[in-house]
C-alpha cells in the first residue's frame, strides 16, 4: 500500500509499473472506482492482472475478485503472476448481461476480506444485448454499475473496470461512456504508439491530479513495465 504523492492521504495500490504509478501518484486509489479503456492490445487486462498480483502480495489474507467477460488467457495470467499465490485469486465468469448484472448486484457482497475487485470488461455484454432490447439492457447496465462505488467505499478497496471502445471522427471512447464517466473517479486511457510494445497512459479524469497527463510504459511478456 502507498499514499498519494499529490498531497492527499488516500491509500493507493501500486501496480509496480514506474510510468503508471508515477502518473497516478502512487497507484490505484482505494475506496473508489477507476476506469481503464483503450483499443484491443493496449494492456488493459495486463494492468488488471498485475494489480491483482500486487493486491495478493500486499493483503495475503484477502481475496481478489476478478470478473472476466473476455476469456482470460491462463497462460498470460501465469506469465504475470509468476509464483504468486493464485488461491487468493477468485475468477467469476458470467455468460451474459443478466448473469453479469446478478454477479455485480448480489454475488460480490457474499465475500469477506476483499482486497480488489476487477471487472474485465464492464461493457462487453451490454453491447450485444443492447441491439436486442435497449430498455432492459440500459436499465441493467445502470443498476449494476451504480453498485460499484458504494461497494468500494464500504470495503475501502479499489475497484478497477476496463471497457471496450469505439472510434468516431478520430476520437476513441468507451461504449456507454456517459454512464462510465459519471461512475468513475479516475479515468485512464491506454494508447498504442508506433514503437512495438510501447504504450501511453493518459489521465482523463482525476479529482486531485492534472488531467491529460501522459506517461510511457512497455507491454512485455511479464506484464506492464
Residue ranges per domain, the chain?
2-224
CATH number of 2-224: 3.40.50.300
CB 111 within 8 A of CB 63: yes
pLDDT at 135: 76
DSSP percent split of the chain into helix, strand, coil, nearest 5: 35, 30, 35
Chain segment 97-125, per-residue pLDDT in tens: 888 888 888 877 778 899 999 999 898 88
Q: What is the pTM of this model?
A: 0.92
Q: Measured between alpha carbons, how far is 143 from 122 in angstroms, rounded to an integer? A: 12
Chain segment 9-20, per-residue pLDDT in tens: 789 999 999 999
pLDDT at 171: 83
Q: Whole-number mean pLDDT of the chain?
A: 90
pLDDT at 46: 97
Q: Where are the beta strands (DSSP E) in the chain?
A: 2-3, 11-13, 28-29, 33-38, 63-68, 89-92, 114-120, 159-163, 165-168, 171-174, 186-192, 198-205, 214-220, 223-224
Amino acid at each position: 500500500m502507498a499514499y498519494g504523492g499529490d498531497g492527499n492521504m488516500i491509500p493507493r495500490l501500486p501496480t509496480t509499473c514506474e510510468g503508471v504509478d508515477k502518473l497516478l501518484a502512487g497507484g490505484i486509489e482505494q475506496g473508489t472506482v477507476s476506469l481503464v479503456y483503450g483499443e484491443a492490445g493496449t494492456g488493459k487486462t495486463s494492468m488488471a492482472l498485475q494489480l491483482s498480483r500486487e493486491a495478493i502480495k500486499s493483503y495475503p489474507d484477502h481475496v481478489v475478485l476478478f470478473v472476466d467477460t473476455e476469456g482470460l488467457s491462463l497462460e498470460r495470467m501465469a506469465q504475470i503472476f509468476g509464483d504468486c499465490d493464485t488461491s487468493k485469486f477468485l475468477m467469476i465468469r458470467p455468460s451474459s448481461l443478466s448473469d453479469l448484472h446478478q454477479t455485480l448486484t448480489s454475488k460480490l457482497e457474499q465475500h469477506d476480506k476483499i482486497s480488489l475487485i476487477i471487472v474485465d470488461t464492464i461493457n462487453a455484454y451490454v453491447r450485444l444485448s443492447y441491439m436486442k432490447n435497449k430498455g432492459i439492457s440500459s436499465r441493467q447496465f445502470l443498476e449494476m454499475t451504480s453498485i460499484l462505488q458504494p461497494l468500494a467505499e464500504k470495503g475501502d478497496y479499489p475497484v478497477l473496470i476496463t471497457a471496450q471502445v469505439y472510434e468516431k471522427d478520430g476520437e476513441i471512447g468507451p461504449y456507454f461512456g456517459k454512464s462510465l464517466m459519471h461512475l468513475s473517479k479516475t479515468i485512464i486511457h491506454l494508447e498504442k504508439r508506433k514503437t512495438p510494445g510501447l504504450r501511453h497512459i493518459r489521465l482523463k479524469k482525476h479529482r486531485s491530479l492534472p488531467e491529460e497527463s501522459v506517461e510511457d510504459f512497455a507491454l512485455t511478456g511479464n506484464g506492464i513495465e
